[in-house]
Amino acid sequence: LIRLRDRLSRSQNVFGRGLLGLLARDRLDEDTWEEIEDSLITADVGVEATREIVDRLRERTRVLGTRSGTELRALLAAELVNALDPELDRSLRATPHDGTPGVVLVVGVNGAGKTTTCGKIARVLIADGRTVVLGAADTFRAAAADQLTTWATRVGAEVVRGPERADPASVAFDAVRRGIETGVDTVLIDTAGRLQNKIGLMDELGKVKRVVEKHGPIDETLLILDATTGQNGLEQARVFTEVVDVTGVALTKLDGTAKGGIVISVQRKLGIPVKLVGLGEGPDDLAPFEPSQFVDALLG
């Protein structure tokens, strides 16, 4: 497991040094509270969540009277964790059941990190003693199947791919069939994320979903979201939640942004639990998302 703390250094500047510094001021006057609010919004926490967090912090610092650094850290941590709905079930539903493989459909816009995340998830599962088939149903981008094949070789998974420009649904269908035939634990299906128009996406992903479900239910539909795209990315992501039943989010590229607060907006605005975080380009740069661990790392 990679060290979360090392990879979130950009966000730590805002949350740890920045916010804790502001809270530690001798006088918490209106200007200071405004600065606190601004930092949270700049870090992509979202307006509504920011207001709630700030209101509660104001109330609690007032009650607290004198404040030590440790107390302030604990206070801020508690509010951030609370904003992340700590009770949600965040386990990835990828395990086999009734003798058939767990099926994970991976969706999201191009460039969000779908192929990479498929590879990383396969890596985690295989390290855990499981067997995996990767389905290269992103047949739109020419290099996508090659990229997934490289990952498969690297982590020791089998890949199922079709001819160039093959029908994504038929590749997805074949991947699940192969997974059932060979008795693997998990089938991960990488899809294309063209977003020119919602109808096209709906047709394509809808068909992939229907065809895969001929084999049995999809256990997890994982939306891959690039953390660096901020509130815009969130709007794009919403389209996917309208097209397929998204059951979890993997937030990628958190290593490259100071806007780690996006994890709070994502969960609030989409109403879907963040289950995984991407923290780099390497095979081990994926971590399960656990609110208190994450917040702890965010505060540095």
Contacts with ligand GDP by CB under 6 A lie at: 108, 110-116, 224, 252-253, 255-256, 278-281, 285
Judged by beta carbon, residue 224 or residue 264, the one nearer ligand GDP is 224
- Residue 77 marked ligand-binding: no
- Residue 162 marked ligand-binding: no
Instruction: Tell me which residue has its CB nearest to ligand GDP.
Output: 278
Judged by beta carbon, residue 23 or residue 109, the one nearer ligand GDP is 109
Judged by beta carbon, residue 114 or residue 269, the one nearer ligand GDP is 114
Judged by beta carbon, residue 22 or residue 106, the one nearer ligand GDP is 106
Q: Tell the smallest beta-carbon distance from residue 104 to ligand GDP (Å).
A: 14
- Residue 233 marked ligand-binding: no
Query: In sequence order, what DSSP letters do the residues of 96-125 get, joined into one string?
Result: -BTTB-EEEEEE--TTSSHHHHHHHHHHHH
- Residue 198 marked ligand-binding: no
- Residue 256 marked ligand-binding: no
Q: What is the DSSP letter of 227?
A: G
Q: Tell the smallest beta-carbon distance from residue 251 to ligand GDP (Å).
A: 8
Q: Tell the smallest beta-carbon distance from residue 246 to ligand GDP (Å).
A: 15
- Residue 112 marked ligand-binding: yes
- Give the contacts of 216 (CB within 8 A, at least 6 positions apart): 100, 103, 176
Give the Å distances, CA to CA, from 85 to 235, 254, 293. 21, 19, 13
- Residue 229 marked ligand-binding: no
Q: Tell the smallest beta-carbon distance from residue 100 to ligand GDP (Å).
A: 26
- Pairing state between β 248-252 and 220-226: parallel
Q: Tell the smallest beta-carbon distance from residue 263 to ligand GDP (Å).
A: 13
Helices (H), the chain: 4-7, 9-12, 20-23, 30-42, 47-64, 69-83, 114-127, 142-155, 168-182, 198-212, 230-243, 262-270, 291-299
Q: Tell the smallest beta-carbon distance from residue 281 to ligand GDP (Å).
A: 4
- Orientation of helix 47-64 relative to helix 262-270, angle to 10°: 120
Helix/strand/coil (H/E/C) assignment for every residue in 40-78: HHHCCCCHHHHHHHHHHHHHHHHHHCCCCHHHHHHHHHH
- Residue 191 marked ligand-binding: yes
Judged by beta carbon, residue 110 or residue 170, the one nearer ligand GDP is 110
Residue 134, classed as helix, strand or coil, is strand
Amino acid at 138: D
Judged by beta carbon, residue 46 or residue 108, the one nearer ligand GDP is 108
Work out whether the CA dihedral 179, 184, 185, 191 comes out positive or negative: negative
Positions at the binding site: 108-115, 190-194, 252-255
Positions at the binding site for GTP: 108-115, 190-194, 252-255
